């Protein structure tokens, strides 16, 4: 069976919704919690969930789950068509986050800095999974293993969609599409003009280049083509957590459908907007029919 191999970050997540009568508290202040929601986090798992909602099966692999969270985490994935057979559990390792959401912001607490700076806590990519899949969602965070997965994709002729890696890396240069957020640009290219940086990506990379700017107009183009722009759907979000991950799922879906770049970008933006209109994260987001209806109500192809 054809599937998308989603390799990367997966984490247990708990979302705390602040009462609307309270703002996010300053140090030593108080805010009321109105709701607590079990959820999942991480680019790979949110991408897999949204692909399932779009009718695309995924196989998930990546970092290890802590044993204390594994049962709850896997139960949350049960409703979706996601193969979790590659996932591993460990007593001492695994990531976890809590997300505090108020009227206009989300604040995330986790153990990701320790995860990335410490010893290896993830599975290596499986060669058979790459050989048998239709496309790969590749998170670039797992050091040599991420680069190895990109090399396997090239070896077996499998397209992959990635995010937030430098333009001169092997992963970026060979990606079918790469989504570059303001976080990566601010961290890795502090003094670089955005237009110049976009041109560097176009020069070095063979695939679709997308620069996102949150709710502001995004840029996209391919090598040798002029930059195009798209203004995201204007909404009042409930929770923006997982928006970028679901945007990637929309890009993957459009590429699998062999849509043109404009239609793919619009669809991915609609997927992200609908995730922002629900919570927690991607778990309660609508499926394909609702997203297509949303597009018809706001734009036409």
Q: Return the closest-CA partner of residue 210 out of 202, 201, 197, 219.
A: 219
Section 193-204 average pLDDT: 96
Confidence band for 57, pLDDT divided at 50, 70 and 90: very high
Q: Which two tokens stand for residue 284?
A: 């309660």
Distances in Å between the Cα of 30 and the Cα atoms of 27, 33, 209 are: 8, 10, 43
- What are the domain boundaries of the chain? 4-298
pLDDT band at 281; cut points 50, 70, 90:
confident
- The tokens for 41 are 């986090």
- Give residue 1's pLDDT: 56
- pLDDT at residue 300, as a whole number: 45
Q: Which residue has the tokens 């986090």?
A: 41
Structure tokens at 29: 């202040």
Which neighbouring-strand residues pair with 163?
A: 179
- pTM for this model (two decimals): 0.94
Q: What pLDDT is attached to residue 242?
A: 87
Instruction: Give the per-residue pLDDT at 284.
Output: 92
> Residue 171 — pLDDT band, cuts 50, 70, 90?
very high
CA dist 138 and 148 (Å) reads 11
Helix boundaries (H) for 143-206: 143-156, 170-174, 182-188, 194-204
Contacts 24+ apart (CB under 8 A), 151-159: 152/125, 152/127, 156/130, 156/131, 158/130, 158/131, 158/133, 158/134, 159/135, 159/255
Mean pLDDT of 70-82: 94
Please write the tens of the pLDDT for every residue from 84-138.
999 999 998 999 999 998 887 889 999 998 888 888 999 999 999 999 999 999 9
For the chain, what percent of residues have pLDDT higher than 90?
Answer: 83
Rounded to the nearest angstrom, the gap between the alpha carbon of residue 109 and the centroid of all alpha carbons in its chain is 18
Which range has the worst mean pLDDT, 11-15, 176-180, 250-254? 11-15
Mean pLDDT to the nearest integer, 191-199? 94
For domain 4-298, the CATH architecture is 3-Layer(aba) Sandwich (3.40)
Tell me: the pLDDT tens digits for 218-231? 999 999 899 999 99
Of the segments 67-76, 86-95, 170-179, which one has the largest average pLDDT value? 170-179
Lowest-confidence pick of 130-134, 144-148, 229-233, 296-300: 296-300
């Amino acid at each position: 069976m054809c599937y998308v191999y989603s390799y990367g970050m997966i984490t247990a997540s708990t979302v705390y919704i602040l009462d609307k009568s309270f703002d996010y508290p300053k140090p030593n202040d108080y805010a009321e919690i109105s709701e607590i929601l079990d959820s999942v986090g991480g680019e790979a798992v949110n991408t897999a969930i949204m692909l399932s909602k779009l009718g695309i099966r995924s196989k998930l692999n990546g970092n290890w789950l802590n044993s204390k969270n594994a049962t709850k985490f896997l139960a949350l994935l049960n409703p979706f068509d996601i193969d979790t057979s590659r996932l591993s559990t460990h007593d001492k390792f695994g990531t976890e986050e809590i997300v505090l959401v108020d009227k206009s912001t989300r604040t995330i607490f986790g153990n990701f800095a320790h995860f990335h700076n410490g010893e290896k806590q993830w599975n290596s990519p499986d060669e058979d999974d790459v050989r048998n899949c239709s496309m790969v969602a590749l998170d670039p965070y797992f050091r040599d293993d991420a680069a190895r997965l990109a090399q396997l994709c090239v070896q077996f002729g499998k397209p992959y969609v990635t995010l937030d890696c430098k333009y001169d890396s092997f992963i970026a240069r060979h990606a079918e599409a790469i989504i570059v957020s303001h976080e990566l640009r601010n961290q890795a290219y502090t003094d670089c003009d955005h237009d110049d940086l976009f041109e560097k990506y176009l020069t070095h990379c063979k695939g679709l280049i997308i620069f996102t700017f949150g709710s502001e107009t995004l840029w996209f183009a391919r090598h040798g083509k002029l930059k195009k722009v798209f203004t995201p759907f204007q909404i009042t979000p409930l929770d923006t957590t997982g928006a970028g991950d679901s945007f990637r799922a929309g890009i993957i879906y459009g590429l699998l459908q062999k849509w043109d770049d404009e239609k793919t970008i619009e669809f991915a933006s609609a997927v992200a907007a609908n995730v922002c209109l629900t919570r927690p994260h991607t778990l309660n987001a609508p499926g394909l029919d609702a997203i297509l209806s949303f597009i018809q109500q706001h734009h036409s192809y």
